Structure 1
Amino acid sequence: MPDDDTADPSATYTLAELAVASGVSERTVRYYQSERLLPRPGKKGREAVYTDEHLDRLTVVGELRDRGLTLQTIRELVASDSPTTTVSEWLGVDATLTAPWSDDRPGTLTHDQLAEQIRRFGGDRPGVIGELQAAGYLHQQPDGTWLAPSPTLLQHALRLRQAGIDVDITARVRDLLRRRLSTAVDDTVELLVERTGTGFAGGASADELETAIGALRPVAREMSSIILAQEVERALADLLRSGPTKLAGSRRR
């Protein structure tokens, strides 16, 4: 434990002052100390004395908690010999890993905007909005607007409906692809994590990881599209090779 004279008198706080400066309650400060997320305070007589180091650490811990990290993970990050560098590197990795792979983001439409979009695809009969809502392409909001979790998938559903493919069918295709692709993606991420630093991302520094992920992002999207198209071709060819009986049966279903 630090001696009485270890505190810097030019930048010190009592526990109450630290709580006010950081916006973190005294009880939480004590809890963070018990969890080894904060350095032990110095002493001035019998009173605990905190410094700007403690204030900065509370800010870092708060930011990391906002990112969803567990206290155990935060403890590992701040326990290094150079916690500032470690956290900075991790934040760089975090930004790389959480960067979007798609420009498609949830969007909100007024009723008139939604009706106009539906009309563009020839869906002016009553009931289309209800079909889209039942299929999960739309969610009505309390203020009367409509939230489209994926505006792009919404447009695809309308375009396919115009071509004679029911909204219900496109939703089932969407959900089927998502289930199967989620498994493939989980396996892919597991492989990349396993090979990070030994075949993926060089020595696995933050910069090398950013470079590797940046190169992988567009290629993975293109590979997924090509492989999906190839598999559709294969499945349709298999259906044709199976003969007219199976094809007729599939049409009756």
Structure 2
Amino acid sequence: MEELAEKAGITVRTLRFYRERGLIPPPRRAGRVAWYGDRHLARLRTITALLERGHTLNGIADLAKAFESGRDVAEVLGLGEPTEETPVRLTPEELADHFQGEVTPENLASALELGYLAVDGGALVHISRRLLDVSAALVREGVPLSAVLESGRRVREHADALAELFVGMLRDHPVPGDAGKLRPLAKSVVEAELSMALDRKLRQEGIARTGRPASAEDPPGTA
């Protein structure tokens, strides 16, 4: 414990307090000796960084619980199954930088539940580089991360239904050769239909260049 506290730049008393609060995982015990490793040091450095960014110990404790409740990486990412997505490893600090202070315990728990994030030792793994980049871009534009995650949850439901539709079509009408050929064709259909649906919906709402509903005060042709 003394060696760990020294490497982390904190006092032994502070380290004991963190351990009692459940902010760090318990050590590995061998008889009367408690062994701490790189995982504990990484967690302590993360706690220090989060405190410097203005997070409270209660908030950090909630984050730690969410970390520990994360599912196994292989389970979340479906390793061994065909995928076009590229997972991304992140430190908690890097994740916070992506989302500009929106990484709250509630949002982190939602991301873990959705399977967007998994915990791997002292690091986090995001299931998809594309989803990470798009989510961060939406937050930079002013959309709350909680709204992005809720939209992702609803999109997941529709995506599952679309996948079932196309796979069912294959069951009913088997095609010769590699069934994987269906994947780009199905994506093209969905992308085209979504594009046209967005056009229709945006016209109905009067949202285009302004990014908000048109009003009587807008110049002609705004929408």
TM-score by length of 2: 0.47
Higher normalized contact order (CA 8 Å, seq sep 6+, divided by chain length)? 2
Give 1 or 2 for the bigger CA radius of gyration: 1
